[in-house]
Structures are given as structure tokens and as C-alpha cells.
Structure 1
Amino acid sequence: MRIAHAVAVAGLCLGIGWGIGAQAGGYPDHPLKLVVPFPAGGATDLMARALARDLGGKLGQSVVVENRGGAGGAIGAETVANAAPDGYTLLYSTMGVLTINPSLYPKLRYDPQKSFAPISLTNLTSNLLVVNNDLPVKSVADLAELARRRPGELTFSSSGNGTTSHLAGEMFKSTAKVDIRHIPYKGTSGAINDFLAGRISMMFDTSSNFVELVKQGKIKALGVTSPQRLPVLPDVPSISESPGFSTYEVTLWSGVLAPAGTPRAVIDRLNQDIGAVMSAPSMVSLMADYGIRTTHSTPEAFAERIRLDTQKWAQVIQQSGAHAD
């Protein structure tokens, strides 16, 4: 009986193994959809389309990007959360959609930590702190001192209340203990246009929006919000290098997730191929030109990053009183 039981158990385990192997081995057999929860154009769309192009080659199936913007990325995220957990509908998400939205939108129709199966982080980038050339400062310390002498006079624009460009500014204000007025816009283009026109003192926004402008000398970059300097702008220090700002950090990230319940064999296949795509020299070089670093992680490490950053931004939002537009 013991021998018969052992044989039966072994057969069951082997059958399960075959099932998973077959599922992973036969996947994918038709095109995939990669949902970007923002309109076409901009850094997020750039990163997603580069990934989709090369991932399709690894999978042997096309990966079609679908832009579904609205509600700070919540609409696109909800679409994927409700999709079939079969590995054919994926979410290309930014940090804000998963870790900031829960504190801004109390009635989200998805749970960032329960509705998705994280696959891998793909990109790391930073905001740049940039100022107009006519602002009489040359460093983060100069800016903080000027703000102390002129409370409420300096301004910073953002792409909207509760965005990373807004919250990076709020973190700067609380760290430096200064009063700088926040001017929210409905989107990045309006915020940048008014900044470049001289109507706004400074901005904290994605590095890819400013690299060329800084190189051309049209604006001044005082600091990088991530702990690491950007290879594309090696002379611009991290804000955390400045006296009194050692704890300041805003590292932006993006990654790929599937609906919760997606088989682990499919998650592992996607994780492996995404890792190969993001480590390819051509991808590393392409992203570096925009001040973006490629990366790769385990699903578990990605899930932990979401959990910790959700706690961090909840505190920042509570302290700043930020709210959704």
C-alpha cells in the first residue's frame, strides 16, 4: 500500500509538473497587450514601447502597446486588474499608479498590492530640480537660502496635484523648512511651458524632459532627486549630497505586472525575457541617453518595493495635504 501510495503521489506531482511546463512551454501562442495607463508620448510611453518591441522578439509574438490614460493612471490599471489572468494582458506601471494613487483616490477600483502579480521592475529614473537662468542661485543650498529670505515668493510648477513632480517639491519644502508656492497644471506640457517662459521659478520633473535643455544652457539643473547622479549629466549632484538633505530621495521606477492569479510559470517566463531585454547593451544605451537606467528584479523584490513606497508616499501626502485634481 505504501508503495502504491508513493507511486500515486509521484504520478500526481509529475502530472502537475507537466501541466505547468506545458503551460509555460506553449505560452504565448498569440499577441500580448501591454497597457500603458497614460496618453501616448512622454517618458512612460517611450519606455513601454521600447520594451514591447524587444520583448516581442524574445516571446515570438508581438506585444501591442495600448494607451489608456485618465485618473492618474487608475483607468488603465483597473483595466488590467479586471483582465483574464492568462499572461496576455499586462500593465506597464509607474511608481505613482501603484504607490501614490492609494493615498489620493480613496475609491480606487483596484488594490495595488492584491489586484496584480508583479513581474519585474524595468526602469529607474529621477526627477531633476531645475531653475530659470535668471534665478540667482548655483546650488541646492543657495536655493534653500533664497527661499528662506523670500518666503512664499518662489514658485514651482507640477503636472498636477499629487503627481511625483508635486510631491518631490513638497519633500524639498519640508526638508529645507521653506515656503515655496506650488502651481499645479493639468499635464506636463503646460507646467514646462510656463517654467521656460519665466513665469515659474523652478520645477522638479522627469530628467528626460530637461536633459537637452540643460546641455544647451537654457536652464540650470541644481540637483538630481535620486541618490545616484545621472551619467548623462555627471556634473549635476544628487540633492542628497547637499548639507541638510541627506535623507532626501525621490527615485522613480516603472515595471510590468499581470493580473493577480496569473500562473507562476507564465510570470517566470516573462520575468526571464524582460530581464534579457533590459540588460541588452542596446536598451541600456538607449535609455541612458534620456537619463533613464534599466533594471530587472524578482517578482518578490518588486512586490516589496511597492509595499515600502506605498508607506513612504502615504506619509508625504498626509504631511503636505496633497489631493487629487
Structure 2
Amino acid sequence: MTRVIFLCLVVPWLATVSGSSLDQNTQLILGRVPARHRPGYYLESRKTKRELPAHREHGVLDDQPAVGPIAGRNGSDLPTCLMCVCLTGSVYCEEVSPDMTSVPTLPKETAYLYARYNRINKITAKNFADILTLKRIDLTGNIISEVEDGAFSKLPLLEELTLAENRLVKLPMLPAKLTVFNANYNLLKTKGVKATAFKKLTRLVNLFLADNQLEAVPQLPESLRTVHLQNNNITEISTDTFCKGNNTYYLRPSLNEVRLDGNPVVLSKYPNSFTCLKALPIGRYH
């Protein structure tokens, strides 16, 4: 009888202890399983990725990749700092794929824009209307054939503007503080360049208009140091082109490089046209 009572008390106790030990061991084993293998983790992970922003301000990408494919979309439809490289004050949009066909919306603090070798075909007055911090714009190697007046002239800090290797037939109004202007390799003719387009730019230092279709030398500001007009259709010059024909004492010491090579004009026919210069223009003399 005593043995029966002993078994009735001990056996349930052993069963309870064993169950408790098993639960503890099970918990220890589950504790070693990586979180991604636990039930419910996959759904939580997907939710977290959906809530992450595709990109941060100023174009610094998150560690997580952007969700959703971008292939087949037009470059102009994408967020600017997703298709370009945005650093503090600078935006680099060079050879963007898919094709960039217009100037993207720029961060407000942009000072330097490099949008070279894309398929931009027109510059509108709205493209830079709100970006008054711009100091340099480089649009080399696009297919720009039209620039609306006011697109650049209302930028108070703009100093360097490059429109080389495009399809311009007419120059827009230029900002007063410009120091460098480059429109090499376009389709510019004299009728597409206003007589005072450069004359009023009193800070302009370097002017590049090579490889166009200009028939005459435009009016040049006193501040110029370098002017490139090679490979145009210039046929003649006058005593007022570089100097002042009515003032034999007039000098232009700052203008030290004039290129007229590749034009049909024979410079030796105009010996009195260079008396104010430190060096003779580079070009054809016979």
C-alpha cells in the first residue's frame, strides 16, 4: 500500500519537472535561431522596407535599394537626385540613362549644374526661375536649339555659362555678371547675335564662339582677355572691331589672345585694325 501511494505522488511530480525542463530547453534552442527564420519576420521586414524613403535629401541614397523598377521610364520623370549625383550645392547629370530631354527640377541651393551629353532640346524661362544661387551652368553636348529670353538673364550670381556642342541659331540674353561664356560648335550666325549681346557684359573675361557660322566679329567688352572666333565665316574686320579708329592712343592691354584662324578673312589687309593690341590675332595673313 505504501508503494502505491509513493508512486502516485512521485510519478506526477517527475512528469511536471520533465515538462518544465523541456520548455526551458525549447526556449534555449529558439533563442539561437536567427530572427529572419522566426514566424512573422518576413511580413515585418516587407513592411519596414515599404516605409523606408527611396532617397534622402540632397541625393544621399539609403542603404536599402529603391523599390520598383525604373527601366523604361523617361529620365525627366525620375526624382532629380535619383538619376543625377547631388552633392552640397552641385548637381551632376551627365549622360543620364534613360535619356534626359529637359532640365530636371533642381534642389533650391544648387550653385553648380553639369548636365552634359544628354538630349535636352530646349531651355525655358521656368527651368532656373527659382534657383537664384546658380554660379555655373554647363550644358555641353545636348541638342538645344532654343533658349527662351530670361532663362539665364535673371540669374544674379551666374558667372560661367557653357552651351557648347548644341544647335543654337540665336543667343539668349545673358546675365550681367558673366565672366565666361562658351558657345563653341553651334549654328550661330551674326543675325542671331544681338549687337550688344556681349558689349554690356563688363566682367566678361573669356568668350568662345569658335566653329559657328558668324559673318562678323561681334562687339567686344573692354574686360575681355581671350576671344576665340576660329572656323567661322568672317570675311572682313574694321578699325573699330578691336580698337577705336578715331583714337590712335587707345590700347587694350588685357586682350592678349584673339583667334581668327579658319576664317576667309585675310588679316594683312587690315594693318591698322590691331594697333591697340599687345599681340596680333592668330589667323590668315596671306
- When the two structures are superposed, what TM-score results if normalisation uses the length of structure 2? 0.20
Q: Which has the higher helix share?
A: 1
Which structure has the highest strand share of the two?
A: 1
Between Structure 1 and Structure 2, whose CA radius of gyration is higher? 2
Under a length normalisation based on structure 1, what TM-score does the superposition of the two structures give? Answer: 0.18
